[in-house]
Structure 1
Amino acid sequence: MHAPSPARPLLPAVRPSACPGLLRIVQALDGGICRIKLPGGLLTADQADAVALAARAYAGGVIEATNRANLQIRGIVAEHGAMVEALLAAGLGPRQAAGDDVRNVLLSPAAGLDRQQLLDVRPLAAQLLASLEQEPRLHALSAKFAIQLDGGEALAMLEHHHDVWLSPVMIAGASWMAFGLAGCSGHDPALGAVPAINAHALVLAVLDAFLARATPEQHRLRDLLTGPGATGFVADLSARHPDLGIRTVAFDRAPTTATPIGVHAQRQPGHCLVVAGAALGRLDAEQLRGAADLARRVGDGTLRITPWQGLLLPAIASADAASVQRSLAALGWLVDPAQPLAALIACTGSSGCARGLADTKADAQLLAATLHNPAAVHLSGCARSCAAAHVAPATLLAVGNGYYDLYLRDATRPGFGALQATHITVQEAGALLDARLRSNTHD
């Protein structure tokens, strides 16, 4: 017998959120933001056209690719009811804001197509997205609560921290899913594993246990699990749900070192994946429509947004890869990982965000022109680090208009890492990165 969990204040039906969504337009300095959550980053060419047309008709045409493989329309200034209706008609989300808020499941953009994958996680993702969208009790989750499903792909972002992550592991010739809580599969040991067939039930059990224990102020699992709390949480989960078959497992899933931008072999013979980047995460309506047209003409009619704030075109005949890259480059997509902007991340900055202390987008452009050697750098307008869900090899944290503190990632230090220089200009930062830090700033 297990003692009942201590009484907790009742949670609201839906936690209040300031996060934008499809049906919740959030105002920023440069206008409204509409975030379109894509299932596994996937959208059809027709849906891409719908997003592009909406951005052009109701905003300034600015579209952003997010680090959770979603799209958002920025700078909405017109009455947006008709815009939302057009996006709903294109099948880009549910008509319930609460159901839309919690659809936060990240996959590899190459799920089902990657030659290295151990398991196609798309069916599991579809199950979880249906549960999150349709089961009212799960609408009490925060709009920031996130799940990652890793299928063992080579092309995968494994440094983003998620509330729940799952990654495949073979045990006695059978498929199991290792899992962790409030961490990431690229760095953290698994807390346990379940047979792959039980993965959906495991995630629902974790979500229900979190909602039963968390106070309204505890929005994420990291808020609830401190110290040895994760181990105790899993032990209690195993005791309450013996049917899940939770067991300990040795797990080692190192992050891939593959450069995302470029051409990657596809699981299906004779085809490849063409991956491009959006400069500083931004694109315009014509870039998206042009990519949609390519998907129709030489692909399978679909596009996938990547967690590296870019685009993946699947099912491209290997013989067509070079011409597709040239077409994407002509549209303004980044197709060469050696391009300086391909390695830079920048938040909205002071041009669109009230918290931003510097115009990070403009400063990133300046840094790209300053660097002689491309380096992976994140320019953040404030300490919240909205543009990067993981700590970048080098971070420029704004401290004033045009001035930054420079940090280098250091696993032994919290936050952005080791402080290298304070109150420096972008040009000074570029000189430091070129002269002393290049070997430390490549993933």
Structure 2
Amino acid sequence: MSAAIRPSACPGLLRIVPALDGGICRIKLAGGAISAAQARAVADAAQHHAGGVIEATNRANLQIRGIGSEHQALIADLLAAGLGPTTAAGDDVRNLMLSPTAGIDRQMIVDTRPLAARILVTLQSHPRFHELSPKFAVQLDGGEALAMLQHPHDLWLSAFEDAGEPWLAFGLAGCPGDPPLASVALADGHALVVAVLELFLDLARPEQTRMRQLLAEHPAQELLARLSARLAGPVISVGDWQRAAPAEALHIGTYPQRENARVYIGAVAPLGRLDPSMLRGAAELAEQWGDGSLRFTPWQSLLLPNLRAEDAPGVTQHLQQLGFLWASDQALAHLIACTGSSGCGKALADTKGDALQLAALLQRHARYLDVHLSGCSRSCAAAHVAPATLLAVGPGRYDLYFRDAAQPGFGSLHARNLSLEAAGALLDARPRSNTDD
């Protein structure tokens, strides 16, 4: 991999980005999946070449933190484990998010993994696509019950059925829960992705790195007409179809798969962090009881798929012993927090430590609220707007926002400069219907 790595503030596997606690390496996982052997390689790299901190990200990838100046050995070990891109310049653009239960979900309309594999090959092998921003991202939704529908993407595709045939609705600069722009046949999904990316690169100026910026100058209907001219297959309206939101969050606990008598178990890494022993232990469970694979999720959790139903209680107990959160009635399982001031120079508070204190306060009152603690306005830990956000204004002090579709950013400002105790009291008093998803 001799191609030059372009400068960027976004970490990658080949580009280590500095932070207060050392370098950060981001390992992009195809569809969030990783083999047990690869998981052990990540654990070994974090232990031997860094500070031993592994993070699950909100786009179903992994990060290693605390890397020293001599990081070539870490990169070499991860490449040897098959965790790198097929081309060096393709590392930045491997931004394709699937459901964590792709291929095994009981509700899925299509198995998105074959199409996803084609898209990832094209993103990495097509030199022109290497011009895309490291933040430019695509989501492919197969209609699964477990799906993150609130993360905005530059292009999203979502499966639906019409007259018994699978189609892909799609939209630009939004989420699968938004009204779609149009649809194409499933067989034309790969061609659509290529056409959208090429059209974006044809029209965007250098400073326009995201689809929303292009849409500010080129109306969606204009882009749709240009796309239709580039595609051999039909591009049709979807009428009033819209992706239904999942009834519940299915990333924590035990749930049946499409195949009879098989289940997956979801467990949350507390505040998105694992240590090497946790990751090694999960890998061992996957080999012993599952199919030897793990799947990471946009909720900073992991799934062990393809388990026998009768083995699930024992596997859950082992995950608990490893330090994972395994039940939805654990307040900490509902909290997300950025790195905070211990690792980031822009953070105004120790969000990880504060989140632990807040979880204890909420657990005391049996309140299991989805809360995001952000050390600054960049919102690195959450790509979506959480029901409640605590935005740091100083050590141990936060402004409280509640999600409001009519308001930009974090939503409606509810109170300023709160202590953790005061924030906990306001969250505890909030009606559940307003803060629970």
TM range (shorter): over 0.9
- Report the counterpart of residue 196 of structure 1 in structure 2: 186
Q: How many residue pairs end up in the alignment?
A: 429
Question: In the alignment, is the contact (CA less than 8 A) between 1:165 and 1:181 conserved in 2?
Answer: yes
Is 2:323 the counterpart of 1:332? Answer: yes
Partner of 2:341, secondary structure, is: helix
**1:62-77 equivalence runs, <5 A:** 62-77=53-68
Question: In the alignment, is the contact (CA less than 8 A) between 1:59 and 1:78 conserved in 2?
Answer: no
**Structure 2: gaps of 5 or more residues:** none
**Partner deviation per Cα, 1:43-90 (whole Å, 9 max, x = no partner):** 100000000000000111100000100001011125110110010000
Is 2:148 the counterpart of 1:154? Answer: no
Moved more, 164-173 or 284-293: 164-173
Question: In the alignment, is the contact (CA less than 8 A) between 2:286 and 2:293 conserved in 1?
Answer: yes
- The separation in 1 between residues aligned to 2:271 and 2:28, in whole angstroms, is 19
- The separation in 2 between residues aligned to 1:75 and 1:199, in whole angstroms, is 40
Match of 2:230 among 241, 262, 269: 241
Question: In the alignment, is the contact (CA less than 8 A) between 2:5 and 2:15 conserved in 1?
Answer: no
Q: For residues 227 and 409 of structure 1, do their structure 2 counterparts lie closer, same or farther at Cα, with a shift above 3 Å needed?
A: farther
Counterpart AA for 1:81: Q
Counterpart AA for 1:344: L
Kindly state the Cα deviation for residue 344 of structure 1 after the two structures are TM-superposed.
Answer: 0.3
- Report the counterpart of residue 215 of structure 1 in structure 2: 205
**Structure 1: gaps of 5 or more residues:** 1-12
- Report the counterpart of residue 102 of structure 2 in structure 1: 111
Is 2:280 the counterpart of 1:286? Answer: no
* TM-score, structure 1 normalization: 0.95
- The separation in 1 between residues aligned to 2:161 and 2:432, in whole angstroms, is 38
- Report the counterpart of residue 436 of structure 2 in structure 1: 442
Kindly state the Cα deviation for residue 242 of structure 1 after the two structures are TM-superposed.
Answer: 4.5
Match of 1:132 among 116, 123, 144: 123
Match of 1:375 among 369, 378, 389: 369
- Report the counterpart of residue 205 of structure 1 in structure 2: 195
% identical aligned pairs: 62
- Report the counterpart of residue 402 of structure 1 in structure 2: 396
- Report the counterpart of residue 17 of structure 1 in structure 2: 8
Moved more, 156-165 or 433-442: 433-442
Partner of 2:85, secondary structure, is: coil
Partner of 1:46, secondary structure, is: helix
**Partner deviation per Cα, 1:244-277 (whole Å, 9 max, x = no partner):** 3111113211221323201110111111010000
Is 2:415 the counterpart of 1:421? Answer: yes
Question: In the alignment, is the contact (CA less than 8 A) between 1:14 and 1:140 conserved in 2?
Answer: no
- Report the counterpart of residue 248 of structure 2 in structure 1: 258
Question: In the alignment, is the contact (CA less than 8 A) between 1:49 and 1:292 conserved in 2?
Answer: yes
* TM-score, structure 2 normalization: 0.96
Is 2:383 the counterpart of 1:389? Answer: yes
Question: In the alignment, is the contact (CA less than 8 A) between 1:165 and 1:180 conserved in 2?
Answer: yes
Counterpart AA for 2:181: L
Q: For residues 139 and 242 of structure 1, do their structure 2 counterparts lie closer, same or farther at Cα, with a shift above 3 Å needed?
A: closer
Question: In the alignment, is the contact (CA less than 8 A) between 1:103 and 1:133 conserved in 2?
Answer: yes
Question: In the alignment, is the contact (CA less than 8 A) between 1:157 and 1:255 conserved in 2?
Answer: no
Counterpart AA for 1:90: A
* Structure 1 consecutive aligned stretches of length 4 or more whose deviation exceeds 6 Å: none
Question: In the alignment, is the contact (CA less than 8 A) between 1:21 and 1:97 conserved in 2?
Answer: no
- The separation in 2 between residues aligned to 1:246 and 1:354, in whole angstroms, is 47
Kindly state the Cα deviation for residue 171 of structure 1 after the two structures are TM-superposed.
Answer: 1.9
Partner of 1:112, secondary structure, is: coil
Counterpart AA for 2:105: D
Question: In the alignment, is the contact (CA less than 8 A) between 2:5 and 2:14 conserved in 1?
Answer: no
